[in-house]
Structure 1
Amino acid sequence: IFKLFEFMHESFPGVQEMAVDTFLKICQKCKRKFVVVQHSEQMSFVEEMMSHIAQDIAELEHLHVCTYFEAVGYMISAATPDTKERLVTNLMQLFNEKWGNMLRTLQSSGNLEFLQDQQVLREISLILRVNERMV
């Protein structure tokens, strides 16, 4: 899995796509393994991942970010009900902060021109798509 995370930073065409697609397939097949604390580990793999999500997705295309979150969503689906909420909250923290910042900027400026910026629209689109993939 860690090698796939390394490949997610590659700029060679197709490597990132292969890495996130493979990550998704592994998560679909082995999701229970990622939410259980393994022998000689302090926490489950999915909990460990939470500390470096921003770095893992930093260089991914938006579509690949969505696939990454879909894969982690599969992992979380295998967790116990009381653990799921905490994991989802931790996972979505980055995008919830971005969403909150956008809303505060919009509210403080009172100007809808903020929403005409292409980069802002791309970020809003990504936030919505990531949330949709997590459902």
Structure 2
Amino acid sequence: MACDTFLKISQKCRRKFVTLQAGENQAFVEDLLVQLPTIVSDLQTHQVHSFYESVGSMLVAETNDSRKHQLLKQLMELPNGAWSGIMAGAAADVRMLFDQGTIKEVNKILKTNVCVCKSIGAGFSSQMINIFNDLMNVHKAFSAEIENFVAKGGPISVKSAEVRAMRSVKREVLCLIQTFVEVSNDKRMMLDQFMPAMLSPILTNYKSSLPAARDS
């Protein structure tokens, strides 16, 4: 309930949170970002996502693009650090991606990105550029592993816990991409920088997958 209230306040008073108020040494959002690791350490996963959405909503009010990008970078330090660690591990051994604990963490990070993207809107572009190649690699890796499961176990394996977990990651990747496409106001950047890399692997995987294993 407290996180829901915080989100509503963030949406209604966002301008005050990003500008220096009388008696403050720094804007409220800057102080909040310094304390972020301590704050989220006491929250449950769904509360963490709500908190990130709230701060993303505050950043909408920042009119200086350079400062907005810097604040967004600070906001995403924790999930980006965890993401980088997972990507480094996967580069050494892709099998670690398919560990159930890793899948849970990847989904948590992706959901955090979705929440921030949804709330900050077009200002999310710098973060999307930062993680985009990894997103495509993750989608590709899980698509290939699901195909391996189906090849070995037949169509029934689509219903297995392992495949369902892997498909959840693919769905979150697609959800983040869809959210970003919806909020982006730079159609030229979208067409030139993102669409060519997205369409071929995603559509090819959709076409080659069993109907029961397709993610829409």
CA RMSD of aligned residues (A): 1.1
**What does residue 35 of structure 1 align with?**
18
Q: For 1:79, what is the secondary structure of its paired residue?
A: coil
More helix by share: 2
Greater relative contact order, per chain length (Cα 8 Å cut-off, separation 6+)? 1
Alignment of 1:52-67 (within 5 A): 52-67=35-50
Alignment-mate amino acid for residue 88 of structure 1: L
Q: Take 2:54 and 2:94, find their aligned partners in 1: how far apart are those partners? A: 37
CA deviations on 1:14-44 (whole Å, 9 max, x unpaired) are: xxxx111011011011111100111121110
Q: Take 1:69 and 1:76, find their aligned partners in 2: how far apart are those partners? A: 11
Asked if the contact 2:86–2:97 (Cα under 8 Å) also holds between the matched residues in 1, the reply is no
Q: Which residue of 72, 75, 100 corresponds with 2:55?
A: 72
**What does residue 147 of structure 2 align with?**
none
Asked if the contact 2:14–2:59 (Cα under 8 Å) also holds between the matched residues in 1, the reply is yes
**What does residue 86 of structure 2 align with?**
102
Alignment of 1:1-135 (within 5 A): 18-80=1-63, 81-108=65-92, 110-112=93-95, 114-135=96-117
Q: Take 2:76 and 2:8, find their aligned partners in 1: how far apart are those partners? A: 21
Quote the offset at 1:59 in angstroms. Answer: 2.5
Q: For 2:29, what is the secondary structure of its paired residue?
A: helix
Unaligned runs of 5+ in 2: 118-216
Q: Take 1:87 and 1:24, find their aligned partners in 2: how far apart are those partners? A: 18
Quote the offset at 1:119 in angstroms. Answer: 2.0
Q: For 1:71, what is the secondary structure of its paired residue?
A: helix
Instruction: Provide the identity percentage.
Output: 36
Asked if the contact 2:49–2:115 (Cα under 8 Å) also holds between the matched residues in 1, the reply is yes
**What does residue 9 of structure 1 align with?**
none
Quote the offset at 1:54 in angstroms. Answer: 1.1
Look at both structures and tell me which one has the larger radius of gyration over its CA atoms.
Answer: 2
TM-score relative to the length of structure 2 = 0.52
Alignment-mate amino acid for residue 74 of structure 1: S
Task: Point out the more displaced range, 116-125 or 48-57.
Answer: 116-125
